[in-house]
Amino acid sequence: MHVTAIIAAGGRGHRFGSAGPKQLLSIGGRPILERSIAAFASHPSIDAIVVALPAELADDPPAYLRSTFVPQGTGKPVQIVAGGARRQDSVANAFAATDRHSDVIVVHDAARPFASADLIARTVAAAAESGAALAAVQSRDTVKRSSVASGFSRTVIDTLPRDTIYLAQTPQAFQRDVLRRALEIGARDGIDATDEAALVELAGLPVRLVDGDAWNIKITTPEDMVLGEAIARNLAPRTSHPAPARTGRAGTGYDLHRLVAGRPLILGGVTIPADRGALGHSDADVVCHAVTDAILGAAGLGDIGRHFPDSDPRWKDAHSISLLQQAVALVRAQGFEIGNVDVTVILEAPKIRDHVDAMRASVGAALGIDVARVSVKGKTNEGVDAVGRGEAIAAHAIALIRAI
**pLDDT value of position 237:** 46
pLDDT band at 239 (very low <50, low <70, confident <90, very high): very low
Q: How far is CA 205 from CA 166, 174, 196, 224, in A?
A: 18, 11, 12, 33
- The predicted-structure confidence for 377-396, as pLDDT tens digits, reads as follows 999 999 999 999 999 999 99
pLDDT at 235: 72
Confidence of residue 312 (pLDDT cuts 50, 70, 90): confident
The angle at the Cα of 75, spanning 69 to 80, to the nearest 5 degrees, equals 25
* Nearest Cα to Cα of residue 141 among 160, 169, 168: 160
Model pTM score? 0.59
The backbone torsions φ and ψ at residue 392, rounded to the nearest 5 degrees and listed phi first, read -150, 165
By the 8 A CB rule, do 352 and 345 touch?
yes
CA distance 273 to 266: 9
Q: Is the pLDDT of residue 11 over 90?
A: no
Domains of the chain: 3-238 (3.90.550.10), 249-403 (3.30.1330.50)
**Shortest CA distance to 326 belongs to which of 366, 373, 285?**
366
Calculate the alpha carbon distances from 54 to 9, 26, 59, 282, 320 in Å.
7, 18, 9, 34, 29
Report the C-alpha gap between 127 and 235 in whole angstroms. 27
Dump pLDDT digits (tens) for 178-230: 999 999 988 888 888 889 999 999 989 999 999 999 999 999 888 888 888 88
Per-residue pLDDT, 198: 93
Q: What count of other Cβ atoms lies within 10 Å of the Cβ of residue 401?
A: 27
Residue 288 and residue 376 in contact, taking contact as beta carbons nearer than 8 Å: no
